[in-house]
Amino acid sequence: MKKILLLLLSFTAFAADITLLSLQGNAVETGDIVTFKIQSEYDFNYLKKYKNQRVGNILYLLDITKEGDDFFARGILAERSQKEKKSNLQDKFFIRNLDYRQSKLKMSKDFIIYNGPEVNLQKYFKKYSLYVIILFFVIVVLLSISFYIKKKRIKKKLIEEQVIFLNLLKNSKTKSDLELVYLKRKEFSTHLSFDSKSFEDFLVYLNTIQYKEKWTKEEEMAVFNLFKRFKKNLRTKNGI
């Protein structure tokens, strides 16, 4: 009974084989990085423990990935140095389909592999995504404020111009003032709001007499009456 139990224990302790099938078509040398397809009965979580581990005398695994139901490994071809400790692997690794040629160059120093820390991209994304969102929000707010200020300045300048034209009309009291109104009639139409019919009547009559050196009292009275009628509903296009 004890012999049977020991036999079962020795059977369960026996490690399974892991085959690394090289996907590199051409010959490779020391220092090259090669991709392998993993053939094994183990699942992905189990195989991941061999990431950043030496699995033979010439191969050091850099990464292990999963694509669908297939597992892949990337490793660098690096012969074990005399100073490097041998690892106690639980499984046997077999490398297939690899045309490996030892580099003829003599290395000045032993090849030492540094097991750097694993980078969890998802962790960093979660950590910094909040900062990215905040930065984006700040940029949007600053652009909105800048646009609002610029728009407000343009509106202020437009209102100032409208007030200038409004005051010019309100303070027109002489023949030369009315002639200036006629000269700038298009600008008045752009900046001010008024009754178009009254303005047109005023301009038509003014045009018939403005080139005279001197107006008669009747002409002066008539043109200023039309001008007053036109000014009655006069205001800027912003309601001022």
Contact 169/187 with Cβ under 8 angstroms? Answer: no
Estimate the share of the chain in helix, then strand, then coil, as percent rounded to the nearest 5.
50, 20, 35
Residue 192 bridge partners (DSSP) = 236
Q: Which of 42, 103, 120, 33 is nearest to 73 (CA)?
A: 33
Q: Identify the three-state secondary structure at position 146.
A: helix
Residue 240: the pLDDT is 55
d(CA 236, CA 191): 6
What is the Cα 67 distance to its own chain's centre?
29
Contact 115/54 with Cβ under 8 angstroms? Answer: no
Residue with tokens 């581990």: 53
Q: Which of 34, 33, 37, 21 is nearest to 72 (CA)?
A: 37
d(CA 186, CA 68): 73
User: What is the full per-residue pLDDT of the chain (240 aa) written as tens digits?
Assistant: 444 444 444 444 445 689 998 998 788 888 888 999 999 899 999 998 888 888 877 888 899 999 988 999 999 888 776 666 666 666 788 888 888 887 765 544 444 555 555 555 566 666 678 788 888 899 999 999 998 898 888 888 877 777 777 777 777 888 888 888 888 888 877 777 777 888 888 889 888 888 888 888 898 888 888 888 877 877 766 655
The number of residues in the chain equals 240
Residue 38: the pLDDT is 93
Residue 101: the pLDDT is 81
